[in-house]
Structure 1
Amino acid sequence: MRISEIATVLAWHDALNSSDIDTLLAVSSDDIDLAGTEGAAQGLSALREWATTAGLTLVPGRMFMHDGVIVIEEQATWASKPNEPRTVATAFRVVHDQVTAVFRHDTLESALEATDLSEKDLVTDI
Structure 2
Amino acid sequence: MSTSEIATVLAWHDALNSGDVDTLLSLSSDDIEVGGPKGAAQGLGPLREWASSAGVTLKPGKMYVHDGVVVVEQEASWASDPGTTHNVASAFRVVHDQVTSTFRHDTLEAALAATDLTDKDLV
TM-score by length of structure 2 reads 0.99
Percent identity between matched residues is 69
1:1-126 map, 5 Å: 1-123=1-123
| CA displacement, residues 14-55 of structure 1 (integer Å, 9 cap, x when unaligned) | 000000011000000000001100000000000000000000
Q: How many residues align?
A: 123
State the secondary structure of the residue aligned to 1:117. Answer: coil
State the secondary structure of the residue aligned to 1:91. Answer: strand
The alignment yields a C-alpha RMSD, in angstroms, of 0.4
The ranges of structure 1 where at least 4 consecutive aligned residues each deviate by more than 4 angstroms after the TM superposition are: none
State the secondary structure of the residue aligned to 1:88. Answer: strand
In structure 1, give the amino acid aligned to 2:69: V
- 1:21 & 1:52 partners in 2: Cα distance? 7
| CA displacement, residues 51-107 of structure 1 (integer Å, 9 cap, x when unaligned) | 000000000000001000000000000000111100000000000000000000000
In structure 2, give the amino acid aligned to 1:98: Q
- 2:11 & 2:94 partners in 1: Cα distance? 12
